[in-house]
Amino acid sequence: IDFDLILENIKELNSLVGEGISEIEHTARGARLRLPEPLPLTLYQNGIVVGQGAFRPYQHPATQQCLQDIMDGYFPSELQPRYPDGV
Higher per-residue confidence, 71 vs 38: 71
What one-letter code names the amino acid at 62?
Answer: A
Q: What is the count of structural domains for the chain? A: 1
2-19 per-position pLDDT tens digit: 899 999 999 999 888 776
pTM given for the model? 0.77
Domain extent at residue 27: 3-82
Residue 40 lies in a domain: yes
DSSP sequence for 14-56: HHHTTTT--EEEEETTEEEEEPPPP--EEE-SSEEEETT---E
What residues does 56 pair with on adjacent strands? Answer: 48
Residue 87 lies in a domain: no
Residue 8 lies in a domain: yes
Long-range contacts of 10-13 (CB under 8 A, 24+ apart): 10/41, 10/70, 12/73, 13/70, 13/73, 13/75
